[in-house]
Structure 1
Amino acid sequence: MESPDPSPNLKSKPSNTYLKYSGLAIQLFGAIGLLGWLGYTLDQYLALNFPAFMLLFGFLAFGGMMFQVYRSIKRDNP
């Protein structure tokens, strides 16, 4: 016996998917930019020769956003 089609409200529209993932991309660039700037400012304040905090905060932002993308994909595809 065939299962009935899901209701139209439960179907994922392609435009919603594009908007969601483009929103995640904007969040990725924003988080890396903001935390990178914050790290740069901290490096300047502490007068460090090597941009340690800028790199650290940039990598943390990237890792956090990749985890967010993973959770989003996992939630959509159970």
Structure 2
Amino acid sequence: MEERKESKHKKNSQQKPSLSNKQLLLKYSGLAFQMLVAIGMALFLGYKVDQWVGLGFPLFIIIFSLLALALLLWQIIKDTNKPNEEN
């Protein structure tokens, strides 16, 4: 009986500590802010390139915004699949 308690205690002490709720909130709010900035920059850059090229169709706005969304999705998947680490 004593061995079971000791082995459970050893297993619990060997596990890495998980992130607290505040740290998770900061992590994901930072990720949301990155998303807003990246999409805003992609839209602005696409708008300026469309003005410079003089197309009647907003081609670069569409291209840059879709590219930003794809990169952001990759970033989100990469960040959320990481094991929780204590910094």
Q: Which residue of the partner structure matches residue 32 of structure 2?
A: 25
Say which of 63, 69, 72 aligns to 2:76. Answer: 69
Give unpaired runs (5+ residues) of structure 2.
1-6
For these two proteins, the number of residue pairs brought into alignment is: 76
Q: Which amino acid aligns with 2:74?
A: F
The percentage of aligned residue pairs carrying the same residue is 33
Q: How high is the TM-score relative to the length of structure 1?
A: 0.86
C-alpha root-mean-square deviation of aligned residues, in Å? 1.8
Say which of 7, 12, 36 aligns to 1:4. Answer: 12
- Equivalent position SS for 1:27: helix
Q: How high is the TM-score relative to the length of structure 2?
A: 0.78
Q: Which amino acid aligns with 2:69?
A: F
Question: Residues 45-64 of structure 1 correspond to what in structure 2 (within 5 A)?
Answer: 45-64=52-71
4+ residue segments displaced more than 4 Å: none
Q: Rg larger in 1 or in 2?
A: 2
Give unpaired runs (5+ residues) of structure 1.
none
